[in-house]
Each structure stands twice: as C-alpha cells, then as structure tokens.
Amino acid sequence: MSMRAILAIDEGTTNSKAVLVAESGDIVATGSCPVPTHHPRPGWVEQSATDIWTATLGAIRSCLSKVPEIEIVALGISNQRESILLWDRASGEPLGPVVTWQCRRTAEACDKLKAVSNEQEVIRRTGLPLDPMFPATKARWLLDNHASSLAPADICLGTVDSWLIWNFSGQQSFTIDRSNAARTQLLNIADGAWDSSLCELFGVPSSALAEISDSSAVFGYTRNVPGLADGIPIASAIGDSHAALFGHGAYGTGDGKITFGTGSSVMTTVPKFTTPPEGITATIAWSLDGKSTYALEGNILVSASILPWTASLLGLPDVDALLDLARSVEDTLGATLVPAHVGLGSPHWNAAARGLISGLTFSTGPAHVARAAAESMAFQVHDIFAIVERSTPKGIGKLFVDGGPSANEFLMQLVANYLDHPVVVSENTEASAIGAAHLAGLAVGLWPDLETLAGLKRTRRELRPALDPAKRDLALTAWQLAITRSTIPSK
C-alpha cells in the first residue's frame, strides 16, 4: 500500500521547491530547481513566468523521482509574494515579465501618488504604505507597457499563486488566496474583498483580477501537468512568509516568526486588524472558513542575499567561507554594513537609500567586514522587532526562525543576541512548504483540525541571548548612525 502525502510547492525568489509531506507530518522527499532573475536596469528586478513554471515542474520531477510509490492526496502552494504578472486569458501566454517584489521601477509612481493622495487612507484600507514593493503600481506599469491594446476581460493580472494555480488546473482556475490578495494593495483587508476605490486610485481594472478564496480550499484540480495525475485537488495557496508562520503552528496571538531568505519577513499574529504603527505593515496571515487571521509584519528587502555579495566582494569562494571568516573575530571593530542595495524596506521605507560600509579604520580587516555583513541581518530584524513588540498586546511570545540561513547557528545566535529574545530553531528549514501542506491537508480532511496539526512532531531547539548589554547597545547605536548615512541623498 502506497503512502499518502501532500505535494507542497514552495515557489521562492531564487528556487522552486517541491516537498512531499506525509500524514505523520514528516518530509518524505524534496526537489529543487533554480529560477533565474534578471536586472535590466539599476533597481529593476524581474523574472520570466515561463521560467517559474518550468522550474516548478523540474522541482516536482526531482522530488517524485525519489519516492516512486506515493499517493498524492492534494497539492498545496506557497509562493513569493508581491511579485505580479500578466497573461493572455485565451492563450495562457505571459504578457511581459514577472515584476518581482524587489523591483523598484515604480518608485516615481509611488512618489506621485503620495503627493496627490492620502497615503494614510491607503494604509487604513490595506495595512500597506505606498512603496514600489507592493504590486498595485507595478500592475499599472504592466498594463501600460504590455497590455495597452487589450481589454481587461481578455487578460489575467495575477500574483504567483494565481499563475501556478492557472497552470496546474490546465488554465481552468483563475483564483488567488486572501493572504496573497492582501499584499497587492488592492484588497480591503478589513472585509477581505477587492476595493473599488483602490482599483480606481491605482488604475487597475477589477475585471482583470482573480477570484478570492480562503487559504485552505479546493482551488481546482490538476489537469495535463507533466508528472502528475489529473484530478489531484489544488487545496491551498498562501504567501510564503504566511505559510511559514502557519507551518510552525504559531496559531496563538503574539506568536511570531522570522523567515530568512533573499529578503526577510518578521511576522506576528494579532487579535484583529488595526491600522499598523509607522514603518510596519498589517496583513492577513491566512484565511480559514471565511475568517481571516491578522498579523503585523516588517519586510526586509536584502537579507541573506548580502552574504554571497560580500563573499564575492572579499574574493571568497562561497557563503560558508564568509561565515567561517566572520566567526574568526569577536566583533567588527566598529565597522557596519547597511545592505540597502535596492533601498530600505521596513521600518524605514526609503527607496532612495543605498548600501554602504561605514566605521572603517586601518585596523579593519576582511573578517570584520564579513562579520558586519552577518550582523546586518540581525540588525534589520531588530529594527522591526522593537516596533512589533511594542504594538502586540501581550508582547512577543514564541519566536520561530526559518528559511535556509536559520540552519546556521552562528547567524541565529546573532539574532537572539541583538533581539534580546530567545529564538526557536527548527531542524527542518522548509516551514513554508510545511505550512502549505498543512493547509491543503485541512482542506481535504487528511488532518481534521488545528489541534491535530499542533500535535504533529516537530524537532526544535532554543537559542537564548548571550551578549553583554553594553556591547549590544553600542553596536545598535552604530547601526542606527549607519542607517542615517545610507539615507542621505547623494549630490
């Protein structure tokens, strides 16, 4: 008798992953395939929709080749958020690139909107500031540059979950889950529906947008997908950061997580939607049975991606060599690296900021710069954490970490030290895929309820702060000074 499992797709910025999650909660097999990223101009970041789908199929093929005898009872999707694309509704062919969450091409459009509209009203409706990270202005750019001759009814304007569901269903389902919709800046997150006034503000026709659904629901069924049988329920879709929170079992108010990847996300659940504090966003964490769970979040644009860049800068072969070098010194001797290479995200939201290394002396060596790069990941999280902690009614409870870098104890100890809060590290770094699998399993009855999911075995360890408070305060003061310098416009 074959084993029953959920096939979870975790479509990230740099890789598409396929993960088989068994009924026991254990990961049975994984597969991965890279997704190319293109930078046609400074600050512009885009991908190919075809490449994303091809990489997804490659990841599935790799994963399933490792476990030939398996019964896939449902398919779940977690995906990179705030990336948006257009495709022809009749042919299914992409129209233009996928404009990714990192792309800053609409910074000027955001500035113009700030000048003529009430940004606070946008935040009140969406929980999000006017920033090029969010898809609404990018959607208008795509419409102007790649669909100006087409009627709205002839196109699909969707996030990556919608694109994957469309392809998995044989072009039968054009849908979006509520967590992804909440990141478009076109959704009124208080009522969970597309907002006509926001669509008018951004110039986006609602007729081109997908049907909204819960995160755990049957979106459609597989059809003509290489390597998969027809008729498998596509039973969940959720933004990758939200999926990670769910995958940790962080269902309690105040529980949070930090997802480390190309960028990073700090997210904690809150009892209801309220206008977020300055620098922080509010979002829908997930939606079950028509009811939304809300969260506060801070988004970092450049996180772990600073590590390979610094390794290359220092002439090192890879990130492992960089972190070995960083560990060889106890501090940075005052050197601070601000990874604002595509601007700064939360809580600063400064698209014009640029990266810098400051505090250099003749005593500074490559190891100190390497450590400064590693510490920048923790410092950026600290800036968000301090605001979220003050804004959460009972403070932060359990704080989980996930994503590839969470497997590195040196990096995660830096996080615990500078947050002055314990972090819980899971041995399994595939939290986003697990969250998508759990939601899909709920939709098809593989697991009956949240209590059953909470009882699944998870292997974790806790890292507690271990840094002298005076050293911590000194380093954070230097970081804040460096942030100020990075945001001074160049003449």
Which token pair is 343?
Answer: 């601007």
- Rounded to an integer, the average pLDDT of 275-294 is 91
Encoded amino acid at 121, one letter: E
Contacts of 290 (CB under 8 A, 6+ apart): 214
d(CA 12, CA 432): 10
- Domain containing 47 equals 3-248
The three-state (H, E, C) secondary structure of 372-395, written as one string: HHHHHHHHHHHHHHHHHHHHCCCC
Task: Evaluate if residue 404 carries a pLDDT over 90.
Answer: no
Give the model's pLDDT for residue 278.
Answer: 86
Give the model's pLDDT for residue 1.
Answer: 54
C-alpha to C-alpha distances, 295 to 31, 221, 258, 272, nearest whole angstrom:
30, 30, 13, 8
* Residue at 87 is within a domain: yes
- Rounded to an integer, the average pLDDT of 112-130 is 89
The three-class DSSP label of residue 139 is helix
Encoded amino acid at 289, one letter: D
d(CA 403, CA 452): 24
The three-class DSSP label of residue 465 is coil
Least confident of 42-46, 79-83, 394-398: 394-398
* Banded pLDDT at 173 (limits 50, 70, 90): very high
* Banded pLDDT at 74 (limits 50, 70, 90): very high
- Rounded to an integer, the average pLDDT of 223-228 is 95
Contacts of 473 (CB under 8 A, 6+ apart): none
Share of the chain above pLDDT 70, in %: 99
- Rounded to an integer, the average pLDDT of 107-136 is 90
d(CA 148, CA 153): 13
d(CA 435, CA 431): 6
Number of structural domains found in the chain:
1
pTM for this entry = 0.85
* Banded pLDDT at 170 (limits 50, 70, 90): very high
The side-by-side arrangement of strands in the sheet containing 98-99 is: 46-47, 98-99, 84-88, 155-159
The phi and psi torsions of 263 (rounded to 5 degrees) equal -110, -170
**Does residue 268 contact residue 254 with C-beta atoms inside 8 Å?**
yes
* Residue at 287 is within a domain: no
* Residue of 90, 79, 239, 95 whose CA lies nearest to 157: 95
* Residue at 429 is within a domain: no
d(CA 299, CA 17): 22
- Rounded to an integer, the average pLDDT of 353-367 is 96
The distance of Cα 458 from the centroid of its chain, to the nearest Å, equals 22
The distance of Cα 447 from the centroid of its chain, to the nearest Å, equals 26
d(CA 346, CA 357): 20
Element (H, E) at 453: helix 450-454
Contacts of 23 (CB under 8 A, 6+ apart): 3, 4, 5, 441, 446, 447
Give the model's pLDDT for residue 333.
Answer: 96
- Stronger pLDDT, 455 or 87, i.e. the higher one: 87
The three-state (H, E, C) secondary structure of 420-447, written as one string: CCCEEEECCCCHHHHHHHHHHHHHHCCC
* Residue of 251, 254, 418 whose CA lies nearest to 331: 418
* Banded pLDDT at 490 (limits 50, 70, 90): low
Taking only Cα atoms into account, the Rg of the chain, rounded to an integer number of angstroms, comes to: 22
- CATH number for the domain that contains residue 47: 3.30.420.40
**Does residue 397 contact residue 374 with C-beta atoms inside 8 Å?**
no
* Residue of 13, 167, 15, 17 whose CA lies nearest to 99: 13
- Stronger pLDDT, 202 or 396, i.e. the higher one: 202
Place of tokens 């900021």: 353
The phi and psi torsions of 7 (rounded to 5 degrees) equal -95, 110
* Residue at 436 is within a domain: no
Task: Evaluate if residue 392 carries a pLDDT over 80.
Answer: no
Give the sign of the dihedral formed by CA 34, CA 38, CA 44, CA 50. Answer: negative
Q: Between the ranges 62-71, 428-437, 467-476, where is the mean pLDDT highest? A: 467-476
Q: What is the mean pLDDT of the chain?
A: 93
**Does residue 332 contact residue 375 with C-beta atoms inside 8 Å?**
yes
* Residue at 295 is within a domain: no
- Rounded to an integer, the average pLDDT of 78-105 is 95
- Stronger pLDDT, 360 or 491, i.e. the higher one: 360
Task: Evaluate if residue 194 carries a pLDDT over 60.
Answer: yes
d(CA 103, CA 120): 23
d(CA 325, CA 419): 23
